[in-house]
């Protein structure tokens, strides 16, 4: 049993790969072995998470996920816990899978109490309603069983701790999309009082770490049930760990280093025109690049800002856009770029050998097919390029909509990376890093404190600094995104209850 942390990079496997592993393992094991191991692991973790809980409600569905819950109930009942088990399979017992049938017989023989209604009072709950086999209900399909909705609603809203077996019910294991009915999904969120836990079986699933997954899953545990994935089993994604997110490189640098060894970053953006003034976005990116370890950082503001020094960060050097050395500097383009950024993009796309495109630069490219052609051509010239869209910007680039992007963030990121032949950082809960020909990474760090203006500019600057060390755009993105989220996590620990602004990121 392993509690998942941010220390190590770990493989993530979708439903199809997990099913194949399950089938391969079952061939060499006695019947029902995996379900019995899963139930025992769930019961053991329940005791560890809530050792003083006496009254347990176990909500079981009609399939094999429910069978895991039946097995868990058996052990907890034997260990003296007051178990109340509600089971959906009673409505059509003949259709219950063989493994779950065996678990049902064992639970009944052990005298586990069954009930038709959720108990009025309980100290701890186990969610074994729907596992990885559950899927969104297609349009026109029959309505779900009313009891299932009632029990799921109670699990989502209850103040007591809840342990989900394998996947929180209603969550798509592959995408992290929440397909629970809107009336139920709307009532769940980080404001709930009860702690949430998820115990993955066999494999870690990507949907737990992006989109709705992080909120619904809570603290994630993993038990491989004694089954080792074969070496040739390809991961669907990777969970970025601290081991993948190197620092700025200065800790290992020689004493004889000079500022040129850590690369130059140039921020191109911060438009001031008419009544709109966004120089602050460029300054945030520039300051972040310095704090992330860049040797020198230049700022080239668009429009008529008239700023030639940052009094809070005087190390920043101001230049005109025309004076930038696009061939030797890492260019971070678009932070607060406004409408003016479109005029410089053609030159930037053709000349910058290392480029981070953010915010208004992405919007300009989305609306200009010629710029899109230039962007795609960069890969063939051996240039390094990273895009950092939030879901709405990604939707514009794909000619789609935000809902479609969020419904399958891994697919959207891979689609963008293939379409433009560059690294894509799809921001959001569980930021996805994708590149053509690479297995995507999902980032586990960060929290709601990053949901404030300017934090994306900070990430763009940090990514620019990571690329300035000579790293590939993909490696730099994995590192910068991890460290960016980690700053917010550190803030939550060291400054609990205090709001975090973009300018404070990295100042602890």
Per-residue pLDDT at 248 = 55
Confirm whether 316 is domain-assigned: yes
- In this structure, the answer to whether residues 295 and 420 fall within a common structural domain is yes
Q: What is the arithmetic mean of pLDDT over 339-346?
A: 97
- In this structure, the answer to whether residues 447 and 386 fall within a common structural domain is yes
Predicted structure pTM score? 0.95
Q: CA 177 to CA 179: how far, in whole Å?
A: 6
Confirm whether 258 is domain-assigned: no
Q: Is there a contact between 22 and 182 (Cβ–Cβ < 8 Å)? A: no
**In this model, does residue 496 exceed pLDDT 80?**
yes
Can you tell me whether residue 65 is helix, strand or coil? Answer: helix
**Burial degree of 268 (CB within 10 A; 0-12, 13-18, 19+):** buried
Q: CA 430 to CA 451: how far, in whole Å?
A: 13
Per-residue pLDDT at 142 = 53
**Burial degree of 141 (CB within 10 A; 0-12, 13-18, 19+):** exposed
- In this structure, the answer to whether residues 319 and 432 fall within a common structural domain is yes
- In this structure, the answer to whether residues 427 and 480 fall within a common structural domain is yes
Q: What is the arithmetic mean of pLDDT over 79-94?
A: 93
- In this structure, the answer to whether residues 361 and 212 fall within a common structural domain is no
pLDDT tens profile 116-150: 999 999 999 999 999 997 765 554 555 555 888 89
Report DSSP letters for 338-378, one per residue. GGGGHHHHHHHHHH-SEEEE-THHHHHHHT-HHHHHHHHHH
Number of domains in the chain: 2
Q: Is there a contact between 35 and 107 (Cβ–Cβ < 8 Å)? A: no
- In this structure, the answer to whether residues 404 and 340 fall within a common structural domain is yes
pLDDT tens profile 144-160: 558 888 999 999 999 99
Percent of the chain with pLDDT over 70: 95
- In this structure, the answer to whether residues 274 and 311 fall within a common structural domain is yes
**In this model, does residue 429 exceed pLDDT 70?**
yes
Mean pLDDT of the chain: 93
H or E stretch covering 207: none
Q: Is there a contact between 445 and 489 (Cβ–Cβ < 8 Å)? A: yes
Domain ranges, residue 161: 2-236
Q: CA 211 to CA 200: how far, in whole Å?
A: 18
Confirm whether 505 is domain-assigned: no
- In this structure, the answer to whether residues 176 and 273 fall within a common structural domain is no
Q: CA 67 to CA 178: how far, in whole Å?
A: 23
Q: CA 123 to CA 160: how far, in whole Å?
A: 6
Per-residue pLDDT at 146 = 80
Per-residue pLDDT at 298 = 98
**In this model, does residue 187 exceed pLDDT 80?**
no
Confirm whether 502 is domain-assigned: no
pLDDT tens profile 226-284: 999 999 999 999 999 999 886 556 777 778 787 777 889 999 999 998 888 999 999 99
- In this structure, the answer to whether residues 229 and 277 fall within a common structural domain is no
Cα-Cα-Cα-Cα dihedral of 79, 83, 89, 91, to 10°? 150
Closest CA to 201 of 67, 312, 47, 311: 67
HSE, side-chain direction, 13 A CA sphere, residue 315: 15
Confirm whether 330 is domain-assigned: yes
Confirm whether 302 is domain-assigned: yes
- In this structure, the answer to whether residues 194 and 296 fall within a common structural domain is no
Rounded to an integer, what is the distance from CA 176 to the centroid of its chain?
9
Report DSSP letters for 302-347, one per residue. EES------TT-TT-EE--GGG--TTTSEEEE-TT-GGGGHHHHHH
Higher pLDDT, 147 or 373: 373
- In this structure, the answer to whether residues 348 and 201 fall within a common structural domain is no
Confirm whether 370 is domain-assigned: yes
Closest CA to 481 of 500, 504, 508, 456: 456
470's torsion region: left (phi>0), alpha (psi -120 to 50) or beta? left
CATH number of the domain residue 227 falls in: 3.40.50.10260
Confirm whether 58 is domain-assigned: yes
**In this model, does residue 91 exceed pLDDT 90?**
no
CATH number of the domain residue 370 falls in: 3.40.1190.20
- In this structure, the answer to whether residues 358 and 458 fall within a common structural domain is yes
Can you tell me whether residue 151 is helix, strand or coil? Answer: helix
Per-residue pLDDT at 190 = 46
DSSP state of 51: T
């Amino acid at each position: 049993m392993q509690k998942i942390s941010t220390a190590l990079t770990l493989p993530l496997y979708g439903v199809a790969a997990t099913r194949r592993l399950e089938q391969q393992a079952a061939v060499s094991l006695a019947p029902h072995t995996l379900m019995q191991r899963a139930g025992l692991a769930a019961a053991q973790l329940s005791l560890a998470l809530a050792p003083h809980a006496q009254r347990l409600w176990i909500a079981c569905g009609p399939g094999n996920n429910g069978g895991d819950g039946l097995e868990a109930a058996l052990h907890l009942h034997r260990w003296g816990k007051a178990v109340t088990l509600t089971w959906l399979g009673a409505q059509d017992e003949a259709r219950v899978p063989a493994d779950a049938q065996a678990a049902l017989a064992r639970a009944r023989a052990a005298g586990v109490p069954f009930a038709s209604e959720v108990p009025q009072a309980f100290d701890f709950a186990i969610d074994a309603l729907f596992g990885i086999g559950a899927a969104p209900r297609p349009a026109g399909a029959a309505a779900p069983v009313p009891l299932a909705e009632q029990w799921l609603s109670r699990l989502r809203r209850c103040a007591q701790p809840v342990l989900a077996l394998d996947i929180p019910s209603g969550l798509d294991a592959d995408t992290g999309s929440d397909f629970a009915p809107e009336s139920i999904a709307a009532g769940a969120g980080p404001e709930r009082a009860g702690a949430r836990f998820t115990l993955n079986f066999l494999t870690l699933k990507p949907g737990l770490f992006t989109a709705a997954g992080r909120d619904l899953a809570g603290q994630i545990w993993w038990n491989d049930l004694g089954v080792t994935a074969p070496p040739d089993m390809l991961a669907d994604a990777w969970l970025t760990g601290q081991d993948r997110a190197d620092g700025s490189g200065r800790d290992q640098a020689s004493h004889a280093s000079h500022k040129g060894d850590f690369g130059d970053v140039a921020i191109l953006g911060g438009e001031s025109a008419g009544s709109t003034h966004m120089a602050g976005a460029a300054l945030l990116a520039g300051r972040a690049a310095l704090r992330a370890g860049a040797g020198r950082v230049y700022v080239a503001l668009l429009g008529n800002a008239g700023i030639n020094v940052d009094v809070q960060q005087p190390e920043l050097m101001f230049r005109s856009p025309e004076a930038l050395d696009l061939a030797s500097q890492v260019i971070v383009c678009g932070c607060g770029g406004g409408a003016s950024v479109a005029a410089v993009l053609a030159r930037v796309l053709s000349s910058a050998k290392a480029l981070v495109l953010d915010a208004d630069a992405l919007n300009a490219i989305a609306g200009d097919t010629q710029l899109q052609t230039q962007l795609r051509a960069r890969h063939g010239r051996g240039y390094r390029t990273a895009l950092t869209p939030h879901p709405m910007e990604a939707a514009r680039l794909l000619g789609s909509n935000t809902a479609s992007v969020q419904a399958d963030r891994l697919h959207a990121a891979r689609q963008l990376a293939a379409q433009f032949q560059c690294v894509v950082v799809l921001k959001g809960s569980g930021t996805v890093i994708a590149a053509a020909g690479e297995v995507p990474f999902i980032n586990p760090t960060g929290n709601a404190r990053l949901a404030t203006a300017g934090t994306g500019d900070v990430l763009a600057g940090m990514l620019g600094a990571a690329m300035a060390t000579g790293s590939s755009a993909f490696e730099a993105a994995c590192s910068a995104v991890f460290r960016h989220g980690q700053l917010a996590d550190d803030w939550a620990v060291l400054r609990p209850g205090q709001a975090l602004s973009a300018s404070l990121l990295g100042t602890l």
